[in-house]
Amino acid sequence: MAAEGVLYRNFNELPAQAKLSQLALNPLDLSRPGVVNPERIANYRASGGGFDLLFFGQRLDERALAALQELADESQAVRQFAAMRQGAVLNLIEGFASENRQVLHCSCRDVFSKMPVEPKSAEQAKTELAKLRCFLMELADGRLSAPNGEPFTGMIQVGIGGSDLGPRALYLALKAYARPDRVVKFISNVDPDDAAAVLGELDLARTLVNVVSKSGATLETLANEELARQAYRRAGLKPEDYFVAVTGQGSPMDNPRNYLRSFYLFDYVGGRYSATSMVGLVMLGFALGYEGALAILRGAWRMDGAALEPEIGKNPALLLALLGIWNRNFLNYESLAVLPYSQALTRFVAHLQQLDMESNGKSITRQGQELAWQSGPIVWGEPGTNGQHSFYQLLHQGTGLAPVEFIGFRQNQYAQDLVLQDTTAQEKLLANLLAQSLALALGQTDANPNRRFPGNRPSSILLTDRLTPESMGALLALYEAKVVFQGFVWNINSFDQEGVQLGKTLASRLLAHYAARRRKQPAPADPLAQALLAAAKLV
Ligand code: G6Q
């Protein structure tokens, strides 16, 4: 089923696009006295799914905002989102070989409704959740323990890309809620030193290894799994007593004899959208307990519901997507800085880089034609206030501009803080976040050119009460929805990743030289690869 009743339209054919181009000739200047005023700060605000989005710091007025709503309506962005949830085959390029799949990551959390939107996939999600619940109960009550009779206290997740970034970002974000008797580590890069370091940090006799690969065929993961298996064997332990698999049904890794337990994900859940499938949940359930894992799903489910709201004032994901389009396509900013004011979100930007840039780093339409408009920006960032003592200089006074998305929490996670100079550390963190947004917008005049801040630099602020499993799920789903909304408006396929293939193919050409040398065979006739290896002093 394609998206029934949805007409895919090219971005440059949407009537609101022309209107927005006109408005962009004279965008709002935030640094003009009086433009950023108390009324604007109060009114330029949207809420949904538990998050508030403050966007007084964007270079637009009511007319541009109305035109962005028209752009969303004309592109049928919300209708496409609904069609996606219902199982439309949206991962395709019409008329060309492509993945040709449904896009059903939202089904992973559509497990709370009596009437799931797409019953078959929601049923599959429930089956895997039930398996996970049993596994976690057995671990908790001691029916499942390490062969030495001790409880499992550690888990190493082996996986890369979508099988690492989202899950790892979530674990680090929610460590404050983890069981005190359990710890999780990760191995992703095919770097033997990283694997050795992680394997050396834990007592393997009490550590599970969660091997996560949807395809069951990823070079890095296979190499790291084998490195880990060797380490277990060297320690006199049988890997099949410790290794758990999360993989696609029928993949080369779908071999329950090699694993203590196997969990599945399905081809309709894309790697970078898979954090709420078993790809993330087995590890997160181990760390947080089943209820904690479920709370993540609940938050994401709630945000998926808010993403169906056609009005931008009630749909922060849609509004964030449209503000991004305003900045990218109309004001021509090439990058986007995401700056979370929470150290716990230390890997969340890395996850967003994959989510956004792998999804929307595309140059053709869903009909295979060259894009005549810009698609996704370069996404980067670091937690504040660390970033303030580093690259914010460029954000404020540099010649290159980057719009900013700030993320903040009204309260901190741990009940530990102190009042110093009459303010808590959390208040200092939040004051800095808000101050940065104002400073970027207002700038500063000064007789000394070195102390001049041009201002008029756009930013938005995403806020919720506290970083919890539920709000983390909502934040994850908010960005997933933002990215797919942008893809719908740009008429691109946000669900494939052909762009990562070429490098992999060339790496295997280079590896053929190493392999030939090890087998004492003549080097393959590949002068470019040979020259490159020689120049790099690798042969
Ligand atoms: C994400 C990509 C990619 C993928 C990894 C790992 O959308 O497809 O990052 O997640 O290549 O793939 P496996 O899970 O199949 O090992």
| Residue pLDDT, tens place only, 140-197 | 999 999 999 999 999 999 999 999 999 999 999 999 999 999 999 999 999 999 999 9
Q: How many CB atoms lie within 10 A of CB 151?
A: 14
Task: Tokens for 127, please give them.
Answer: 């089956």
Residue 495, Cβ density class (10 Å: 0-12 exposed, 13-18 middle, ≥19 buried): buried
CB 77 within 8 A of CB 68: no
For ligand 1, atom 16: residue with the closest CA: 213
Tens digit of each residue's pLDDT (9 = 90 or more) over 420-445: 999 999 999 999 999 999 999 999 99
Q: Is 240 one of the catalytic residues? A: no
E strands of 341-466, at which residues? 378-380, 404-409, 419-420, 423-424, 459-464
User: For 291, phi and psi rounded to 5 degrees?
Assistant: -65, -40
Give the Å distance between the CA of 165 and the centre of ligand 1. 10
Which ligand 1 atom is at minimum distance from the Cα of 247? 14
Entry pTM: 0.97
Give the Å distance between the CA of 328 and the centre of ligand 1. 27
Position 5 scores a pLDDT of 73
Q: How far apart are the C-alpha atoms of 101 and 496, rounded to whole Å?
A: 10
For ligand 1, atom 8: residue with the closest CA: 271
For ligand 1, atom 9: residue with the closest CA: 161
For ligand 1, atom 13: residue with the closest CA: 213
Position 105 scores a pLDDT of 98
Position 415 scores a pLDDT of 85
CB 453 within 8 A of CB 394: no
Q: How far apart are the C-alpha atoms of 410 and 174, rounded to whole Å?
A: 16
Superfamily of domain 113-297: Glucose-6-phosphate isomerase like protein; domain 1 (3.40.50.10490)
pLDDT tens over the chain, length 539 residues: 556 778 899 999 999 999 999 999 999 999 999 999 999 999 999 999 999 999 999 999 999 999 999 999 999 999 999 999 999 999 999 999 999 999 999 999 999 999 999 999 999 999 999 999 999 999 999 999 999 999 999 999 999 999 999 999 999 999 999 999 999 999 999 999 999 999 999 999 999 999 999 999 999 999 999 999 999 999 999 999 999 999 999 999 999 999 999 999 999 999 999 999 999 999 999 999 999 999 999 999 999 999 999 999 999 999 999 999 999 999 999 999 999 999 999 999 999 999 999 999 999 999 999 999 999 999 999 999 999 999 999 999 999 999 999 999 999 999 899 999 999 999 999 999 999 999 999 999 999 999 999 999 999 999 999 999 999 999 999 999 999 999 999 999 999 999 998 998 899 999 999 999 999 999 999 999 999 999 999 98
Which ligand 1 atom is at minimum distance from the Cα of 215? 15
Position 2 scores a pLDDT of 58
Q: How far apart are the C-alpha atoms of 299 and 291, rounded to whole Å?
A: 12
Task: Tokens for 29, please give them.
Answer: 């200047």
Looking at this protein, which amino acid is placed at residue 450?
N
Q: Is 105 one of the catalytic residues? A: no
CB 319 within 8 A of CB 46: yes
CB 243 within 8 A of CB 259: yes
Give the Å distance between the CA of 216 and the centre of ligand 1. 10
Give the Å distance between the CA of 497 and the centre of ligand 1. 9
The domain segmentation of the chain, as residue ranges, is 113-297, 500-535
Q: Is 220 one of the catalytic residues? A: no
* DSSP letter assigned to residue 190: S
CB 380 within 8 A of CB 349: yes
